[in-house]
Amino acid sequence: MATAATEINDRDQFAGLTPSAAGIGVSLSNLGIGVLRCGLVGILLFFGSFKFTSAEAQGIQPLVSNSPLMSWLYSILSVQAVSNVIGATELIFAVLIAARAFNATLSAVGSIGAIGMFLTTLSFLFTTPGTWMSVPGFPLPVPSAVGAFLIKDLFLLGGAIVTAGEALRTGRAVNVKQA
């Protein structure tokens, strides 16, 4: 939901275009941000809920156990408990991001939390053995199935950055109006 102040700022991006093209540009940008936000919420809800299953707890164990940032969790919690904590975190971020219609600041907090989470997940590409492989005749490493699954978080990271920025910008515009 864009405020009048953010729409004015958004229109500056489209300066030099015809008024109708600028309006379409603003509408498409706002729609895109909404789609990103809904996509983030949906993916976090789905995978966050899945973390409460034994299959997913076992599935993420190689990723988490090879992470210098997260492996310590297994010294104090069971495999399932670690997965549950990660799942609960994902669900909390999803709810916070979804709160955008009611509270931009809460949504920004959720998006910023998701940024940290996706950066952590992307670090698994470098800490988990077997995420990259070589293909004869191709000079660069290519992701394995696990690596390819993790790479999708690069796009989710981008979505979290965009939604955090939009929520912070909108929250600021509202606060400036109230002052």
DSSP string, 55-88: HHHHHHHHHHHT-TTTGGGGGTS-HHHHHHHHHH
Residue pLDDT tens, the chain, 179 long? 455 445 545 556 656 667 687 788 888 999 999 999 999 999 999 999 999 999 999 999 999 999 999 999 999 999 999 999 999 999 999 999 999 999 999 999 999 999 999 999 999 999 999 999 999 999 999 999 999 999 999 999 999 999 999 999 986 644 444 44
In whole angstroms, give the CA distance from residue 111 to residue 122. Answer: 16
- Residue 120 and residue 69 in contact, taking contact as beta carbons nearer than 8 Å: yes
pTM given for the model? 0.83
In whole angstroms, give the CA distance from residue 150 to residue 112. Answer: 19
What is the per-residue pLDDT for 15?
Answer: 62
What is the per-residue pLDDT for 43?
Answer: 97
